[in-house]
């Protein structure tokens, strides 16, 4: 089976780390900065960073509406930390003019676990990820405040969802790209491969 082509939005955040993890997971990874590059992708990663800054840059680079259209059209997307916020339908404690891509039927609380100095690490059981617990790094992380019926919760910290999936969309509050454990990225590559198989079956 050929390697799926998965882009990493390269406006801010841990771009190289995501590219490395995707490559190690069997994908053909590339950096994405222009709307014209979206059409060649089988999947996309929205890395962590500062969600309001990334939203502003999406407008500057004329990527916001094309990304909304791509997600609405079924493009598999994995958002980590700020990427989870961008994929939400609504955000608590965000800026009133904060642009969102949407796609996930969730309400996310921004910086829910506190400020930078309150960042932490913990081990999580993540549904769909085989083997030992996933070591998760939380940096000014959001959590899911409310999730629709079509959203599957894959992991929690206490009673707060921190990893979710809805169809071809995957999101984590934490940064799996920072630990060297690529199993969450492998899960996303599996989602992309599955979606490609469904598309071929319909054609």
Q: Tell me whether residue 176 is exposed, middle or buried, using C-beta atoms within 10 angstroms of its C-beta: 0 to 12, 13 to 18, 19 or more.
A: buried
Residues annotated catalytic, as ranges? 81, 175, 177
Distance (Å, whole) CA 136 – CA 192: 22
Distance (Å, whole) CA 193 – CA 28: 12
Q: What are the CA-CA distances from residue 41 to residues 25, 38, 75, 106 (Å)?
A: 16, 6, 8, 25
Q: What are the CA-CA distances from residue 29 to residues 19, 23, 155 (Å)?
A: 6, 6, 26
């Amino acid at each position: 089976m050929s390697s799926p082509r998965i882009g990493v939005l390269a406006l801010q955040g841990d771009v190289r780390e995501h590219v490395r993890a995707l490559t190690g997971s069997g994908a053909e990874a590339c950096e994405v900065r222009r709307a014209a590059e979206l059409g060649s992708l089988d999947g996309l990663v929205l890395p962590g960073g500062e969600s309001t800054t990334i939203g502003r840059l999406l407008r500057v680079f004329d990527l916001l509406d094309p990304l909304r259209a791509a997600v609405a059209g079924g493009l598999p997307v994995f958002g980590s930390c700020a990427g989870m916020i961008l994929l939400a339908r609504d955000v608590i404690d965000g800026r009133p003019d904060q642009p969102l891509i949407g796609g996930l039927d969730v309400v996310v609380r921004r910086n829910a676990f506190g400020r930078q100095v309150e960042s932490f690490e913990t081990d999580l059981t993540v549904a769909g990820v085989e083997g030992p617990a996933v070591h998760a790094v939380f940096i000014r992380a959001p959590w899911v405040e409310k999730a629709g019926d079509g959203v599957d919760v894959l992991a929690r910290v206490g009673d707060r969802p921190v990893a979710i999936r809805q169809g071809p969309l995957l999101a984590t509050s934490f940064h799996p790209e920072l630990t060297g454990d690529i199993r969450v990225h492998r899960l996303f590559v599996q989602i992309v491969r599955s979606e490609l198989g469904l598309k071929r079956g319909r054609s």
